Amino acid sequence: MLEFELPILQTESKTERRDAAENRHLILSTASQLFADRGVEQVCMSEIAKAAGVGKGTLYRRFSGKGDLCLALLDSELKQFQNDVFETFRKQFEAGKSIKQRLNWFIDQAVKFTYAHLSLMVEISDLGTDKAIQDVNVPHFWMEMTIRSHLQKMAEQGQVPADIDLNYFTSALLASLDARIMKGHLQQHAFTVSQISSGLQSLINNTQTRAILNTITT
């Protein structure tokens, strides 16, 4: 039990027909193999349909686009990540860890998860629909809600300056967790995963955070 609620991924409850479930499994396993062989970025939806032996109509009835398909491929890993996070949060709470300490830990884990699944996460980031913004099952949105919940609780406890815009602060933290931004940081700027994690945590821990954010937002 934590002192505040966190967003929980929704489990798909509808029952599929056997042939529909088989088609879904075939498409996902085919896509997974193509991605492993050639790289996620190099494979398009029409190639997945052809390799799976299904029509494009069948493919797009199951998945709205490549990002949606990648989200399905990442489903079990994301659910396991969330379960691990909740269990660690519970243990940290019972051990007396502060909200700030727990948020720092979560940011580090979110950076590592995004990096570990970077190619899929880039495609998921490009969904470009309301689903990408509002669906708790989308990794970036779930991370945003988790970070926002911690920051709001910190603000209630006076651990965040009252004049800081929490919505902007959350967006600033989330920017570097966006897979597309992280890819640029890693490849173009040669930042390490450790640098990205430490930099994000410093926004929370640094005593100059207030001045920095006030300068940016004024």
Number of CB atoms found within 10 A of residue 154's CB: 17
Span 33-78, pLDDT tens digits? 999 999 999 999 999 999 999 999 999 999 999 999 999 999 999 9
Mark which of 28, 63, 98 sits at the end of a domain: 63
pLDDT in tens, 124-177: 987 654 444 456 567 888 888 899 999 999 988 888 887 888 888 888 888 889
Flag whether the pTM goes above 0.75.
yes
Packing angle, helices 118-125 and 66-73, rounded to 10: 140
- 10 lies in some domain: no
Regarding whether 121 and 42 lie in a shared domain, the answer is no
Q: Give yes or no: residues 201 and 166 share one domain.
A: yes
Contact 137, 9 (CB under 8 A): yes
CATH of the domain at 160: 1.10.357.10
| Phi/psi of residue 136, nearest 5 degrees | -65, -20
In a domain, 190, yes or no: yes
Q: Does 42 share its domain with 120?
A: no
Kindly write down the DSSP assignment for every residue of 132-176, as one continuous string.
HHH-TTSHHHHHHHHHHHHHHHHHHTT-S-TTS-HHHHHHHHHHT
User: Is 6 part of any domain?
Assistant: no
Does 144 map to a domain?
Answer: yes
Same domain, 118 and 157: yes
Domain assignment present for 22: yes
What CATH number has the domain bearing residue 45?
Answer: 1.10.10.60
More confident residue, 142 or 12: 142
Q: What is the pLDDT of residues 96-111, one digit of tens each?
A: 999 999 999 999 999 9
Same domain, 174 and 84: yes
**Do residues 82 and 169 both lie within one domain?**
yes
Q: Is residue 3 part of a domain?
A: no
Give residue 27's pLDDT: 97
How many independent structural domains does the chain possess? 2
User: By residue range, what is the domain housing residue 142?
Assistant: 75-217
* Same-domain status, 43 and 81: no
Are residues 36 and 144 located together in one domain of the fold?
no
Percent of the chain's residues with pLDDT above 70: 82
Q: Is residue 182 part of a domain?
A: yes
91 and 185, same domain (yes or no): yes
